[in-house]
Structures are given as structure tokens and as C-alpha cells.
Amino acid sequence: MAISVTDLTKVYGERTALSHATFSVPLGTVCGFVGPNGSGKTTTIRMLLGLISPTGGTGTVLGHNISHPEKYLPKVGAMIEGPAFYPALSGRENLRVLASLGGFDQAVVDPLLERVGLGDRGGSKFKTYSLGMKQRLGIAAALLPSPRLLVLDEPTNGLDPNGIHEVRSLIKDLAEGGTSVFVSSHLLSELEMIAEHLVMLRQGKVIFNGKTADLLSAQQPVLIARPEYSVDLPKLIEIVKASGHELTSHDGAAHILSPADWGAALNRLAFEAGITLASLTSVLPTLEETFFEMTGDSE
Amino acid sequence: MIHVISAEMRKLRRPTLLLSTMAIVTVLTALFTFLTFWRVGNPNGNGRRGEIVTAQFLSTPHGLVYGFNIVAFLLGIVALCIFASQTAQEYTYGTLRNLLVRQPARMKILGGKYISMILFAVLMVLLSLISSILMAYALAGHSHVNTSSWSTSAGLSAMATSVGNVLLSVSCFGTIGMILGLLFRSPISAIATGVIWFLILENILAGVVTSTAKWLPGQNITNLTTSENFTFSYQHSLILDGIYIFVSASIVAILFKRRDVAN
């Protein structure tokens, strides 16, 4: 396992930031770490990186106990809560400070700047960077140790669509090269596209830990049936209810919780009732919809 | 540890910090030495706190480093500010988390940072010494100061003692700056507290209740370089400052090792 935690808990005074979290991240996968603000994501990441000590529970990173971060951190790259660098130093010099500190070859700095698209701005002071450039520098710093595990906290914050696409490609490339990636993001659509594995937090508790595909398949697909004439919608709703399916209606269509293969039966029943369907579509809920349903978060 | 020192030196050698600090130190020392030599014989005084420093005294083996000695306190305050800001900025910039991810042994971070800043202070002190010596030789003729004893073994010995004491004093102030930086985790708060304490509060306390001077850290650090103004001994100051710094440094080191890095 790249990461494995059991009953991990962090309490600040009377506030529980993380409560008995138990999850694991397989090696070589991209794992999304999702949760609303204040759910304990950053607290968990900080504990995994040895920055804060847990109140209770245990954990391992790359097979080593989190109480001995010196054993695994040389193989871990991390960007926590956005990029933090020295404003008066250039991007290149900031990376060199970290390379010196980690004992890495200084020769990796320029290729890394090129890789994140900062090759021509490496000599500029960090304080002159845009938010997107700062984010790219943070990712470059995380890649300094050629990590076996990459921990990224909201890596696409401040990036334009092109930048987001590049980060997504970078994460995929790293995963294909055997790097495990643990990435938190509030952009759930981002994680849906790149994460094979998912850990979901709500109010400091893990509410899902498993494959993204399993999470999606656990949700019932929705059939969207739209009658040709809106006057037929009430009659269509009656037919669906009589068949024992739950539904909602909006935008002139019935949204029915049912498997896709019930679509043929619905089409037949509607036809027999004299209703012509303009469209009949089976839709899988997005990760975002699933997430909101599970967390009860309306935002 | 060597990796930490190397990383810290990269931060300390940035031109805006290195050149400006060294320029300030060089100019300040040259200015004080200039005023001491230029105003020899002036009835209003030409030394520290209006004292009269004669050409006869400046012609002794101690005369060469007089100007260097009187800026020791200011060098100390500069060191305090640099040590405090370099330490506390890791919290305000949020860069401490990067440092600890790359080097999780917190005592190594602290030790490497301290050694690199001491090296910076050594450079500062040496430049100040050179500036003072050059100015002293340049103005000796004008002030009718005989320089022959400066290059004797007694003169060199006085210079070595002076350099050692100024380095010790600057290191003490710097260490206190680092302690304040770790304690307050904000450069402004750490520097303000240190400067207000040493420049204002201690002087008021020592002036109003003279018996307290013997126990005040700043007065005792100053006594390491300019013992003629104090009633207590060099040894007393050395031991007392050693105890103050050891105890406070131990406390903040334990805090730094155990405290969560949550910013």
C-alpha cells in the first residue's frame, strides 16, 4: 500500500478535525481525496507528512510508520495547501534551496521548470508569478525527489483550462510510470477523470474508501423520459409510479431511478398509453452528484 | 546537516539581504570610527555616550579596534533582526512545511539554520573590523595618533580579543533573535520585541534601578565588549548570558520539535 491509516484521529482542543479515519491507497494508483472544506483533508495530509502528530490511531506511508517520516519522505513529493516559497528568490533559486535541502542533484531543477512550463520564467522572482505559475512551481518542487508517492493538495487551483489539462496529463504520466498519486481537490469532476481510487471525507470521518468505479456503480442510473407533448407528462408519471419506481419531474421530463434496461419496458408502456416519447436517455450520476448525495452538501 | 546549511546559505546570499546588510555594517563602523578619530580633542566628547577618547588612548594597542568595539551593540541588533526574520519568515511564508518535508529531522533544520546565520554574522563582523581598521589608519595622521603599537603583538592580541568578544556578543544577540523568531513566529513581532527590549526597556530599567543591570541580558552581552562601563565582571556576564541563552534556547528547541506545523 502507498498509504494505509487506521483509526487516525486529530483533536484540537474541543474540535475533532479527523475522527477514526481508516483508509488505504494502493501503490501505483491515482487516489482522489474528496471532502468539503473543513472535513479534515489537509489535517490528514499533514499527519501523513509528519507535520502534525496524530491524537490517536496509526498509519503507514510506503510501508513505514508515520511516526518515522524520515524513512519515507525522501521518496515523497508534496504540495500542501498551495505553493509556499520565498518571494524574494526566483523560482529557480527556490527549487535549488529545496534541492540542496533534500540532497538532490541541482541539475534536475531546470528540466523540472521546463516540465511544468516555467522554463522561460525560472529566473523571475516568485513574488512576480501569477497564481497559476506559483502552482506550477509548487508541482515542480513536489517532483524534485522523483517521488514514489506524490501528495498534491488542490493542485489545479488558479490554473487556466490549459493548465488544468496539463496537470491532469502530468498526473496520468506519473501514475503510468509507477508513481502513486494522492490528490485532493474540490473539483470533483477533475478527480472523476483521473482518480481510480477515492477516499471521501465528511466532518472528519471517512464515508467512502474504494474504487471510483465501485462508487459510481453503487448509484442507480437515472432514466430521463421526455414526452413529445408536455400535457402527457402527468400521465407518464402515473405509469412510472404504478410500476413502483421513484421519480422526480422537472424541465418537462420524468427523472426515474431505474436501471437502463427498464427503458424498453417504459417505452412500451408509454406507447400503449398513447404517449410518444421524444427522448429516453439513461444517465449515470456524476461523481459530483454522488458526492453531494453522500455528504448532504448542497454547494 | 550540511544540506541544511547549504540550503540556508542560498537564502542568506540573496543580494538584497547580503549586500544591504554588509553595506550598512561597513558604513556604520566607518562612521563611528571616523567620528572618534576626527573629533579627538573635542571637549564635547568623541566616544560612546559622550566620553572623551584621547589621542593618547587611541595610540595604545587597543586604539585600533576602539571604533570596532563601540559598534558591537549595533552589530548585535542587526544580527538579532536578521536571525529573527530569517527564522520567523518560515512561518509567515508557510515555507517551514516545505523544509520539514524535505528534512524531517527538525533539530537538523534548526542547527543548520543557526550555523548558517552564525557564518553570516562572522562575515558581518569581519567586514566591520576591516572597515574600522581602514578608517583608523586613514585618520590616525589627522588625529595625531601614533599607530606604532597597533601592529605589535600586544596590538594584534587586543584585536584578536576584541574580534572574539564582538563575535560572542553578536552571536548572543543573534541567538536571542532566533529564539524570539521561533517563539513569536512573526518577523515583525520578534524584531519589535527584541529591539524595544534591548534599546529601550533595558536602558530605562538599568537607569532607574541600577542594581538590575547586573541581571539584564542585554547589559551583560554589552559588557562582553565594553567592560569599562559596568561594575560587574566579564565572567559574570559570560556565565549569566550563557545560562539565559541555554535555558531559553532549550525551551524553544523543544517547542519547535514538538509543535504541530499547521500553517
Q: How many CA atoms lie within 13 A of B201 on its CB side?
A: 10
Same domain for A169 and A231, yes or no, is no
Rounded percentage of chain B residues whose pLDDT exceeds 70 = 98
Same domain for A94 and A51, yes or no, is yes
Residue A299 lies in a domain: no
Residue A295 lies in a domain: no
Q: What is the pLDDT of residue B228?
A: 62
Question: Hey, is the C-beta of A132 within 8 angstroms of any chain B C-beta?
Answer: no
Residue B196 lies in a domain: yes
Residue A256 lies in a domain: yes
The cell numbers describing A211, all together, are 474504487
What is the extent of the structural domain holding A133?
Answer: 3-212
Count of residues in chain B: 263
Question: Hey, is the C-beta of A101 within 8 angstroms of any chain B C-beta?
Answer: yes
What is the extent of the structural domain holding B164?
Answer: 2-258
Question: Hey, is the C-beta of A84 within 8 angstroms of any chain B C-beta?
Answer: yes
Same domain for A88 and A158, yes or no, is yes
Shortest Cα distance from A225 to chain B (angstroms)? 51
- Domain CATH number, residue A260: 3.30.70.980
Q: How many CA atoms lie within 13 A of A251 on its CB side?
A: 5
Q: Are A126 and A87 in contact (CB under 8 A)?
A: yes
Q: Which of B41-45, B113-117, B258-262 has the highest mean pLDDT?
A: B113-117
Cα B229 from Cα B49, distance rounded (Å): 10
Burial class (CB in 10 A: 0-12, 13-18, 19+), B75: buried
The cell numbers describing A260, all together, are 437502463
Same domain for A180 and A233, yes or no, is no
Domain count, chain A: 2
- Identity of the residue in A69, A73, A100 whose CB atom sits nearest the CB atom of B6: A100
A210 by DSSP, 3-state: which? strand
The interface pTM score, or ipTM, of the predicted complex is: 0.82
Residue B25 lies in a domain: yes
Contact A93/B14, CB-based, under 8 Å?
yes
Residue B263 lies in a domain: no
Same domain for A202 and A278, yes or no, is no
- Domain CATH number, residue A39: 3.40.50.300
Task: Enumerate residues 6+ apart whose C-beta is below 8 A from A97.
Answer: A86, A89, B7, B10, B11
Residue A172 lies in a domain: yes
Same domain for A183 and A35, yes or no, is yes
Question: Hey, is the C-beta of A62 within 8 angstroms of any chain B C-beta?
Answer: no
- Identity of the residue in A52, A84, A98 whose CB atom sits nearest the CB atom of B102: A98
Give Cα B27 to chain centroid, integer Å. 16
Tell me which of A49, A80, A93, A101 to substitute to probe the interface with B (most B C-beta atoms closer than 10 Å). A101
Q: Are B58 and B161 in contact (CB under 8 A)?
A: no
Cα A250 from Cα A272, distance rounded (Å): 23
**The sheet that has A222-227: what strands, in order across it?**
A247-250, A253-257, A222-227, A277-283
Element (H, E) at A202: strand A197-202
Mean pLDDT of chain B: 88
Same domain for A249 and A162, yes or no, is no
Same domain for A31 and A173, yes or no, is yes
The cell numbers describing B166, all together, are 564582538
Q: Are B37 and B20 in contact (CB under 8 A)?
A: no
Phi, psi of A30, deg, nearest 5: -100, 120
In degrees, to the nearest 5, what angle opens at C-alpha B146 toward C-alphas B142 and B151?
Answer: 120
Give Cα B36 to chain centroid, integer Å. 20
Cα A165 from Cα A144, distance rounded (Å): 21
Give the pLDDT mean for B120-132. 94
Q: What is the pLDDT of residue B227?
A: 55
Predicted TM-score of the model (pTM): 0.81
Question: Which of B139, B126, B160, B128 has the alpha carbon at shortest distance from B58?
Answer: B139
Same domain for A118 and A60, yes or no, is yes
- Give bridge partners of residue A200 from the DSSP assignment: A34, A208
Residue A296 lies in a domain: no
Contact B261/A51, CB-based, under 8 Å?
yes
Phi, psi of B49, deg, nearest 5: 50, 40
Q: What is the pLDDT of residue A295?
A: 57
- Identity of the residue in A52, A53, A73 whose CB atom sits nearest the CB atom of B101: A73
Question: Hey, is the C-beta of A105 within 8 angstroms of any chain B C-beta?
Answer: no
Residue numbers in chain A where pLDDT is lower than 70: 187-189, 218-219, 285-299
- Identity of the residue in B11, B99, B105 whose CB atom sits nearest the CB atom of A70: B105
Conformation bin of residue A181: beta by default, left when phi > 0, alpha when psi is -120 to 50: beta
Question: What tens digit of pLDDT does each residue of B198-244 get?
Answer: 988 988 888 888 888 889 888 888 888 875 666 788 888 889 888 98
In degrees, to the nearest 5, what angle opens at C-alpha A282 toward C-alphas A220 and A230?
Answer: 115
Domain count, chain B: 1
Counts of helices then strands in chain B (DSSP H, E): 12, 0
Question: What tens digit of pLDDT does each residue of A134-183 get?
Answer: 888 998 999 999 899 999 988 887 778 887 887 788 888 888 888 899 99
Same domain for A201 and A87, yes or no, is yes
A34 by DSSP, 3-state: which? strand
Question: What tens digit of pLDDT does each residue of B51-92 get?
Answer: 777 778 888 888 888 888 888 889 999 999 999 999 999 999
Residue A291 lies in a domain: no
Residue A246 lies in a domain: yes
Q: Which of residues 138-167 of A touch B (CB under 8 A)?
A: 141, 144-145
Q: What is the pLDDT of residue A298?
A: 46
Contact B93/A52, CB-based, under 8 Å?
no
Phi, psi of A225, deg, nearest 5: -110, 120
Same domain for A168 and A275, yes or no, is no
Q: Are B158 and B65 in contact (CB under 8 A)?
A: yes
Contact B98/A93, CB-based, under 8 Å?
no
Same domain for A140 and A30, yes or no, is yes
